[in-house]
Every structure is written in C-alpha cells, then in structure tokens.
Amino acid sequence: MNNLEKNIEEVNCWSEIGDWGMGTCPKLDEVGRCKYCSVYVLSGRKLFDRPVTEELIAEWTEIVSKPKEKKNPNTVSVVIFRIAAEWLAIETQCFQEVTDRKFIHTVPYRSNDYFKGISNVNGELLLCFSLSRILGLMPITSELKKMVVLKNESQRYIFEVDEFDCVTSMPLDLLQKPPVTISKSVDAHISSIFNFKNNRVGLLDNAKLFAAFKEVLVW
C-alpha cells in the first residue's frame, strides 16, 4: 500500500472523502466508486480477518439466539417511488436495487420512446425502459434521477424515476381497489391503491408491468 492509500485509510475514507462523504478523494477519478477501490476492499478483508474475541462470540451468540421475526401475513412489502407527479409502488419480491442514474446506450434501429437502450449496472448490461412512457405519464423531469432495477425470473430490467422514497410494509386492509376507469394507461397497470405520507400511491401489477416490457421489445 502506498503512502496515499495509508493516509486515506486513516481517515475512514469512504465515509469522509469517498462517495459516501464529500467525494474529494483523488482515487475516485481512477476507480469511480469506493467499492472498486483497493483500500475499501482491504478494509473489508481486515474486518473478516480480525481476531475472534470472547466479546465478539458473546455478541453474535446473542444475535443468533434471538427468535426470528415472523413475517406478518396481513402485510405486503413494497418499494415506493415517484414519476412526475404520480406516486407508484411495486412489490419487493421483484425489486433488486436502486442506483444512481446510469448512462443509457441506445441500440441502433431499436431504441425508441419506450425502450431506451441498455445500461451497465455493476458490469451487467440491463434493458432500460421508459416507465413514464409505458404508463402514459409526463417525462422524467428531476435532475436528481434514480434508476430502479427489477427482476422477473432470469431477466433484469431498469428504468428511471424522479424520486425514490423507501421500502415499507403496508397492511393489506389499507389497500383499496383502483378506480373503475381505465382511460389512463397508468390505471390499467395498477392492482390497488393506498395512502402513504399524504400521497395516493398506485401499486403496480407485477404481471402486467413485465408483460408491458415484453410487448415493447416486440418489433
């Protein structure tokens, strides 16, 4: 390890000057993200290689011995995000991750308003869609965009959102049937609605959403 890496490690760099902190670390220009940096990787190895003390054994014994929390069968776990003025949610069973906005590579003669192209997420090329267009919403407007990754069986997809809120559990008895009207495309893809933080949130139907993705890919 060189002197620069020694100095960086001493200040807990990833939370101080790395991408979890001020972002001023000179190594970021080289590696892009802290998780790809040798200093971060080495620190992680040191954590696992630390001596196993009696205090550590006692701590983990207490954690492991605690009874596991049972999942409430009367709730549904959802991911909540916003596109334009519309708050939406999707069940966490198909949610993979939320990430900063990635560059979208267009596909010649294939990219359009609905299928944007492909994006590199942790070394994997994912099909990128415009969920706002598929649902008939206003285009993404926020400069602080996030991207949501979903998985259906073996295929992963990614799309942009204006704002990512949280992952939460909703009681099933708070879910309401969507409006009878299906004049708007967004309503046709919603299985139920609920109120969250004073906002009306539409819970997307997983099957309809993935079917819409596949339909967009048919040329």
Question: For residues 44 and 65, is the Cβ–Cβ distance under 8 A?
Answer: no
More confident residue, 79 or 24: 79
| Domain boundaries of the chain, sorted by first residue | 3-65, 75-216
CA 123 remoteness from chain centre: 16
Task: Check pLDDT > 70 for residue 126.
Answer: yes
CATH fold of the domain at 75-216: OB fold (Dihydrolipoamide Acetyltransferase, E2P) (2.40.50)
Sheet containing strand 155-161, edge to edge, reads 95-100, 146-152, 155-161, 124-129, 115-121, 104-105
Question: For residues 89 and 78, is the Cβ–Cβ distance under 8 A?
Answer: yes
pLDDT at 30: 76
pLDDT at 7: 47
Task: Check pLDDT > 50 for residue 13.
Answer: yes
How is residue 58 written in tokens?
A: 């006692």
Q: Which of the four pLDDT bands, split at 50, 70 and 90, describes residue 91?
A: very high
Task: Check pLDDT > 60 for residue 122.
Answer: yes
Ranges 12-26, 52-66, 157-171, 186-200: which has the least confidence: 12-26
What does the pLDDT look like over 139-177, one tens digit per residue? 766 666 789 999 988 889 999 998 888 899 998 988 888
Task: Check pLDDT > 60 for residue 3.
Answer: no
Task: Check pLDDT > 50 for residue 6.
Answer: no
What does the pLDDT look like over 48-59, one tens digit per residue? 777 878 887 888
The secondary structure of 34-60 as a DSSP string is GGGSHHHHHHHHHHHHS---HHHHHHH
